[in-house]
Amino acid sequence: MNNLFLSATAIADTIANLFRGMGDVMRGWMIAIPMGVAKGVFIAYFLLLIVWIIRLNENEVTVTLENGKIIKLRPYALFSLITIIVIYIIF
């Protein structure tokens, strides 16, 4: 049983060592990113989505319900995303 345990650990260590070097390098890059830039990454992602929503065709963001009522969804979607940006700026 002990041998089995040792061999499982040895195999796991061998595989882990394959990834560890690459992982440590990437982790080093991520740690070097200033927190202000990290926050910028989040906000840039939301801004990208806002641009995508604005560029969608009108027929993709306007829906007609079964009772004939037309709803423009774009303003609501933008409201959600802009609120999120404000939240990420505050916190």
Partner 1 sequence: MTLSGIDYFIIIFYLVGTVSLGIYIGRKMKSGKDYFLAGRSLPWWAIGMSLVVTDIGAVDMVGIAGAAYLYGIVLGNYDWLGSVPVMIVGAFLFIPMFWRSKVSTIPEWLGARYNQSVRTISALIWGVVTAFGLGVTLYATALMFNLLLDLNPKILLVTESQTVREQVVDATGAGKTHDFIFIKDLNKVDQVIASKDPNLVLIQGDWDMMGQDHRNQVFAFHENEISPEWGKAMMERARAPRWTLMYSIIIMSILIGTYTLFGGLKAVVYTDVVQCIVMLGGSLFVLFFGIYKMGGISEFVSIIQSLGPRAQNHFELILSVDTATPHPWSGIFLGLGLVLANAYWFGNQNIVQRTLAAKSEADAKASYVFGSILKLLIPFAMVIPGIIALAHNPNITDADKAMATLVKDILPTGLLGIFFAAFLAALMSSVDSALNSGSTIWTKDVYQKFVKPEATEAHLLIVGRLITAMMLGIAIFFAQFATRFESIYDLSQTILSLFQGPSLAIIVLGMLWKRATGKAALISLLSGVGFAGTLMWVNSNASIPLFKVSEPFLYIAWWSFVLSVIIVIVVSLMTPPEPESKLKGLVYRYE
Binding site for partner 1 (CB under 8 A): 8-9, 11-13, 15-16, 19-20, 23, 27, 30-31, 33, 35, 38-39, 41-42, 45-46, 49, 53, 56, 60-61, 63-66, 71, 73, 76-77, 79-81, 83-84, 87-88, 91
Beta-carbon contacts of 85 under 8 Å, excluding residues fewer than 6 positions away, are 43, 46, 47
Least CB distance from residue 15 to partner 1, whole Å?
A: 5
**Nearest CA to 78 among 52, 41, 60, 57?**
52
CA angle at residue 39 from 36 to 40, to 5 degrees? 85
Least CB distance from residue 2 to partner 1, whole Å?
A: 14
